[in-house]
Chains A and B, each alone.
Chain A
Amino acid sequence: MNKIISFPHLGNYSVPISFLLRELTKYEVRESPPITKKTLEIGSKYAPDTVCVPFKYNLGNFIETLDNGSDILIQAGGGCRYGYYSEVQEKILRDLGYNFEFINLIDSDKMKIREVYRTFKKMNKHLNFFKFSYYMLLTIQMIRYMDKLDEIIRHRIGFSLNIKDFTNNKSKMLDEFSKVNSFYSLTRKYFKYKKIFKNIKIIKPNNCIKIGIIGELYTAMEPFSSYFLEMELAKNNIEIKRFTNLTYLLFQKRRQTKKMLGKIKDYCTYTLGADGMDNVYRCKYLIDNKYDGIIHTKPFGCTPEVGAIPIIEKICSDNCMPIIFFSFDSQTSEVGIKTRLEAFYDMLNVKKG
């Protein structure tokens, strides 16, 4: 019987991750069921109560996908508490009595390509380094294209005549991306959808409200965890700028650290762990580029962001920049978020006149 491999969700990135696993392993790839409130409930039930909320989502994803018949789970590490996720989650799942193989793609802080290759080689004896590199690069390119198209969407979706013009085309795009087989076909699809997204009719005033979203990576990239914050903003004719995406985390972050620290040396001398310092820099960027407001999101108890917040508050008060902080948890009340958010763009609207 063929084994089934699965992984936790992160926004739309399940498309490239599925693609990579399908091409490189001989297993059947089965995505975890889409995140719902139930996912979070299951995750919260078995996770430590005070752990940050992405852990609970991931754990919920794992349990749902195991119940759905998966045999192999994939997790990756990161620069904060996220680095311990895989060990703790594996232990919790084993204690619950599940039988599975657990693969941690990134063991240390940095991704070492040869180690990843070795991990994949273990899963598929017939894999050679050429094939591995080819599909790795193709997946990376797919992620880059997705992020580029997302950026176009974020600029325009708030002003569309019908929001579905964008959302429907985006699901079509993801579907077509998952079926590509070469750089040529991927690039063609990219240009096709770039054209589509750029040609959807919008009515965008010159002085529209522009908001930058900063904060922790999971709440930035997984819309469910932020109660579809970006969609909510889009419905209110707002242009959105978001920095965090996989392209940034995997490739740009490391190269830019020094440059960012240089730009904010009045406020911040060292990095703050995970994306803490990056967010301080982004604040400065948004102020310099005359954005109207900033929204900062984080899971409740996110240590790097807790460290960054006082610095961000200082920058914003020095520059009269409106900012609002959201802390998401399994207990967050959705109405409370909507009330605060509505008041926020009312405030920006009146300010803008």
Chain B
Amino acid sequence: MEYFLGVDIGSISTKGVIIDSNLNIIANSYLWTKGNPVDSIKRLLNDLKKQVSDDIKIVGVGTTGSARKLIGAMLKASVVKNEITAHAVGTSTLYPDVRTILEIGGQDSKIILLKDGIVTDYNMNTLCAAGTGSFLSSQAKRLDVLVEDFGKIALTSKNPAKIAARCTVFAESDLVHKAQMGYKKEDIIAGLCYSVCNNYLSNVAKGKKIEEPIIFQGGVSKNIGVQKAFKDIIGKDIIVDKFGHLMGAYGVSILALKSKERREFTFSVTDDDFETKGITCNKCGNNCEIVLVKQNNKLIDAWGNRCENGQVKI
């Protein structure tokens, strides 16, 4: 049997799955990126390795997420794909009739519309981080609660506060204002959950027709407060899969399976020493930022140059 590894490395969390050729997830892992993708990928691989027997043969690797290129170079991935395609492929494999995917991650949020398993439209947040996971976790810190408890506390509120959701900065000052006015903590937290949904629906999902079945995924989907807020505001049933946070990794592992390329992958990569370095090319006014990736002191990949002046020979 052939096995495939899919890695989704985002700004906040790193997700990985190993699937067999029947598309079953046989190992999965979810941990924090902590601003160090190289290190987090090693921890991820060690965690995955523990879950599978030693003799399985991984023949394809796919990467997605904002550090997909870097990790793709590290793991010699056969597929390096954007998050939108990866999420769509993963979700529509488990739910072939899905019409709408709502996804809120650490720093990005997106909506994907599908019909008959084919993406017909999508959108991704552009300017503002309001209504993403990092906004919620920074507010949790301000209110001195664990972000993991956010949902539970929100559900206890009977009268959610209205919080201006247009922009992170305004939302934060409004939140302070509501707290000083004397609102209860749970009402403010519930209000935040609603404001995340409102922000998402008026920015990312603007003008998009949300049709059932609707699947809500990404890290924020684990927050039951936001789940409830979405159900209330949209007025339709919303599915949250227990693997919802892994869909990107699952999708890209399927893409690795579907690609014709086969290249054996071993976990020994975790013993290698990786070094990344950003340099600025000063050969013209573009000042391109070129990234160099070294494996055991040997240059394996470089990118970032706009013209041939900045081409790095490997």
Other-chain contact of B118, A34, A339, A340, A351 (Cβ < 8 Å) = A351
A36 interfacial contact with B, CB 8 Å = yes
B235 interfacial contact with A, CB 8 Å = no
Given contacts A339-B82, A343-B82, A350-B118, contact A36 B286 (CB under 8 A): yes
- Taking a contact as CB atoms under 8 Å apart, the answer to whether A350 and B285 are in contact is no
Q: Which of B121-129, B184-192, B213-221, B260-268 contacts A (4 or more CB under 8 A)?
A: B121-129
Chain A residues with CB under 8 Å of B85's CB are 342-343, 346-347
A150 interfacial contact with B, CB 8 Å = no
Other-chain contact of B84, A34, A38, A343 (Cβ < 8 Å) = A343
CB distance from A301 to the nearest CB of B (A): 13
- Taking a contact as CB atoms under 8 Å apart, the answer to whether B82 and A342 are in contact is yes
- Taking a contact as CB atoms under 8 Å apart, the answer to whether A37 and B285 are in contact is yes
- Taking a contact as CB atoms under 8 Å apart, the answer to whether B287 and A347 are in contact is no
B66 interfacial contact with A, CB 8 Å = yes
- Taking a contact as CB atoms under 8 Å apart, the answer to whether A39 and B119 are in contact is no
A147 interfacial contact with B, CB 8 Å = no
A313 interfacial contact with B, CB 8 Å = yes
- Taking a contact as CB atoms under 8 Å apart, the answer to whether A322 and B120 are in contact is yes
Other-chain contact of B82, A228, A320, A346 (Cβ < 8 Å) = A346
- Taking a contact as CB atoms under 8 Å apart, the answer to whether A38 and B287 are in contact is yes
B43-68 interface bits toward A, Cβ cutoff 8 Å, 1 = contact, 0 = none? 00000000000000000000000100
Chain B residues with CB under 8 Å of A36's CB are 284-287
Question: What separation, in Å, do the CA atoms of A343 and B118 have in the docked complex?
Answer: 12
A320-353 interface bits toward B, Cβ cutoff 8 Å, 1 = contact, 0 = none? 1010000100000001101110110011001100
Q: B127-183: which residues lie under 8 A (CB-CB) from chain A?
A: none
A79 interfacial contact with B, CB 8 Å = no
A33 interfacial contact with B, CB 8 Å = yes
- Taking a contact as CB atoms under 8 Å apart, the answer to whether B121 and A37 are in contact is no
CB distance from B257 to the nearest CB of A (A): 16
- Taking a contact as CB atoms under 8 Å apart, the answer to whether B124 and A340 are in contact is yes
Question: What separation, in Å, do the CA atoms of A327 and B82 have in the docked complex?
Answer: 20
Chain A residues with CB under 8 Å of B306's CB are 228
Closest residue of chain A to B209 (Cβ to Cβ) is: A317
Other-chain contact of A37, B81, B83, B119, B287 (Cβ < 8 Å) = B287
- Taking a contact as CB atoms under 8 Å apart, the answer to whether B284 and A350 are in contact is no
- Taking a contact as CB atoms under 8 Å apart, the answer to whether B124 and A339 are in contact is yes
- Taking a contact as CB atoms under 8 Å apart, the answer to whether A33 and B120 are in contact is no
CB distance from B3 to the nearest CB of A (A): 24
- Taking a contact as CB atoms under 8 Å apart, the answer to whether A343 and B285 are in contact is no
Question: What separation, in Å, do the CA atoms of A38 and B284 have in the docked complex?
Answer: 9
Chain A residues with CB under 8 Å of B285's CB are 33, 36-39
A15-58 interface bits toward B, Cβ cutoff 8 Å, 1 = contact, 0 = none? 00000000000000000011011110000000000000000000
Chain A residues with CB under 8 Å of B83's CB are 339
Closest residue of chain A to B68 (Cβ to Cβ) is: A339
A116-147 interface bits toward B, Cβ cutoff 8 Å, 1 = contact, 0 = none? 00000000000000000000000000000000
> Which residue, B118, B119, B287, has most C-beta atoms of chain A within 10 A?
B119
CB distance from B21 to the nearest CB of A (A): 21
Question: What separation, in Å, do the CA atoms of A320 and B81 have in the docked complex?
Answer: 25
B69-87 interface bits toward A, Cβ cutoff 8 Å, 1 = contact, 0 = none? 0000000000001111100
Which A residues have a C-beta under 8 Å from some C-beta of B? 33-34, 36-39, 228, 313, 320, 322, 327, 335-336, 338-340, 342-343, 346-347, 350-351
